[in-house]
Structure 1
């Protein structure tokens, strides 16, 4: 491994909750005679971190019994509303993927939560994977419904404790969250692709940008088309030369490359001083990810698609990545994401959660980042466009000087317009 890719994490605060709870001595690289022992020590350390509770149960002096869970729908818009037996209420906005996955929410997630004590949310989120053998779904199929419900419960608990959600799961480390403009357009010819990048970046006061490299044919049925030949090799220097050294640049291939191709493109990214290379090869090809990481000084990021703690455990223990990227929806919510961040922190690595779609996805993302001591300098941002009608008294929720201010009111810090909520009707099987 080329150890100078560690330079990326210089902005991270190493030695927070997970690191203080467990000594860092096992991080030392072993010699050839003790590598196996060292790896087992790393795994043991990560396993111990996963057992540590996240939700601050001590904030609640009496049980918070979940009396009802409702999934509400208006056209393609979903809301989740939870109520306790004491009358407390919380609400979340569902990911657009709920349009497909709502039957799993209703049949396999919702019933397990009703009657549970919300103070036991860590354990509930663990055991729901066993209920109805839900682990067979795993990944985004279970993650989206689970996160939608968890976000509503955290909103309710935040109002009960009179605290923003970040203070329910840790301390507030980031009151303002730096963002990068996430762009797409990889299927377009170079000139059109670059024009769209410039147009998108110009909409917001951002100081960081992520581009797509390689080509994925996710949007086409043409199984032979490989994308514009040589476009990536022209785009990488073009973006740097256009924006100069005053903007942080990131690149994402969404698993497009083979190991050799990823290394070749990674060296070009190094030459033009990009900050990291996201998903250079397929996300679950762990040995390939490590092979790319070992060949580059450029930090490697991975985790948007990951389905379990085991995946992150292997990549962290084997030093295959520098940046972990659990998605706030795909991975099943805030508490599970915080656990991955703690695992990364214990080994001096950075957490930059991925933000997928959803009416208030950007809001949930910055709250999660607010409670992560080893957060990266910039976090995913796609736009502030949303169909949700809401008010946020403690933050303008505008990108100012490249950052979004995290709301400080209880729960998620927003009030969804009752008239907007009223348009939604309860979904049943």
Structure 2
């Protein structure tokens, strides 16, 4: 298991070498002294010679989920499942975002995304709600383009450098049941999937009561004892701690060989997080799930807020912007592991990024629920084998939907 010293040595070496196999920075990224690094833009008009005019973008509810469907004039479709934030964002999606996509050529996707942020004063709404709405449309549009090109989305964006990745199993326990049963459940999930690691929750989520702290200090030693010294353990604070508590908890986690400490302080408290990072010598500090500003990602990477950056594919505005975050933090010798705690079609855009990002680090998140039957309304069955997730090489995002689900779908937008 890589400790923090080895991790930092790896960062220094990879930064110096430019990460062999990494996507090259385009000349436009160097045109101005203050320009952010970018992911090389694909030539979509070369990959898809004929125009792809978007006829409609619909938000539909079916199977208890919201699905966003982008339809071209020729009837071709691109689809993504939407996350749990979307039900509260429908007016923003309809009023601010969709007008920048409907009637436009999908091959101009990078420019359409920029327009949906910049034009009509949309930037005044900047933050997760706007970027989550734009990102959902962007992701579905990539699915459309991938199907038309008959290629996985990742093949439109670069040369893949991996066909699978290792996972850890998440558990969301923060009290309410006997801790011994939770520890047994983690061990069973790990055994069933072959995963090398797990992620546990510490603190109380944006708070840390005396009971929360007591539970953390009981839970962590039990997990280590049950899983053994070879198991990889990550811990997520979800902003529970003050700077002082974050340092104390981080040192406690270090004493049990926890490898990654995610978001100990409020995600808005850059200085507090930086102080925690500076005070810890073994554990890797991670965060960025809540962030959607590329400039903030650059500043945090440059000033050492985190070692490992975790943008969410949807919150951050989609696939291309997430790849840009990977490139931004890579330029500062930092690593990258996008937030994606899903075992349903929401995992699909992560597959595309995982195939390409040269600085993808560590085990990646997966939610495993024993006994849950495979869904019948989409394929493939999303599962881990021998601790690894295979990245599909099928067109689009890699998910196929049963045509029967559209008959009962309710249109939301």
Q: TM-score normalised to the size of structure 1?
A: 0.84
The Cα shift of 1:68 comes to 1.7
Q: Counterpart of 1:415?
A: 400
- Cα distance in 2, alignment partners of residues 205 and 14 from structure 1: 33
- Greater CA deviation, 264-273 or 295-304? 264-273
Judged with a 3 Å threshold, the aligned counterparts in structure 2 of structure 1 residues 401 and 196 are, in CA distance, closer, same or farther, namely closer
Tell me the matched-pair count: 399
- Cα distance in 2, alignment partners of residues 147 and 117 from structure 1: 17
Report whether the alignment pairs 1:269 with 2:253: yes
Task: Extract unaligned runs of 5+ from structure 1.
Answer: 24-41, 219-223
**Aligned partner of residue 47 in structure 1, secondary structure:** coil
The Cα shift of 1:153 comes to 0.5
Matching residue within 190, 194, 198 for 2:183: 194
User: Which whole-Å deviations, capped at 9, do the CAs of 1:301-329 have from their partners, x for residues lacking one?
Assistant: 11111121122111111122111100112
Report whether the alignment pairs 1:116 with 2:100: no
The question of whether the paired residues in 2 share the 8 Å contact of 1:352 and 1:375 is answered with yes
The question of whether the paired residues in 2 share the 8 Å contact of 1:98 and 1:145 is answered with yes
- Cα distance in 1, alignment partners of residues 34 and 354 from structure 2: 21
**Aligned partner of residue 83 in structure 1, secondary structure:** strand
Q: Counterpart of 2:91?
A: 103
Q: Counterpart of 1:239?
A: 223
Report whether the alignment pairs 1:299 with 2:284: yes
| 1:35-46 correspondence to structure 2 within 5 Å | none
The question of whether the paired residues in 1 share the 8 Å contact of 2:206 and 2:239 is answered with no
| 1:205-216 correspondence to structure 2 within 5 Å | 205-216=194-205
Judged with a 3 Å threshold, the aligned counterparts in structure 2 of structure 1 residues 226 and 311 are, in CA distance, closer, same or farther, namely farther
**Aligned partner of residue 350 in structure 2, secondary structure:** helix
The question of whether the paired residues in 2 share the 8 Å contact of 1:155 and 1:165 is answered with yes
Judged with a 3 Å threshold, the aligned counterparts in structure 2 of structure 1 residues 122 and 290 are, in CA distance, closer, same or farther, namely same
Matching residue within 237, 257, 272 for 1:253: 237
Q: Counterpart of 1:362?
A: 347
Task: Extract unaligned runs of 5+ from structure 2.
Answer: none
* RMSD of equivalent CA atoms: 2.9
The question of whether the paired residues in 1 share the 8 Å contact of 2:171 and 2:200 is answered with yes
The Cα shift of 1:286 comes to 1.0
The question of whether the paired residues in 2 share the 8 Å contact of 1:18 and 1:49 is answered with no
- Cα distance in 1, alignment partners of residues 209 and 26 from structure 2: 50
Judged with a 3 Å threshold, the aligned counterparts in structure 2 of structure 1 residues 157 and 321 are, in CA distance, closer, same or farther, namely same
The Cα shift of 1:413 comes to 2.0
Q: Counterpart of 1:47?
A: 35
User: Which whole-Å deviations, capped at 9, do the CAs of 1:129-148 have from their partners, x for residues lacking one?
Assistant: 13443334333322332222
Q: Counterpart of 2:25?
A: 21
- Cα distance in 1, alignment partners of residues 231 and 12 from structure 2: 18
Structure 1 segments (4+ residues) deviating >6 Å: 10-13
- Cα distance in 1, alignment partners of residues 188 and 149 from structure 2: 43
The Cα shift of 1:280 comes to 1.3
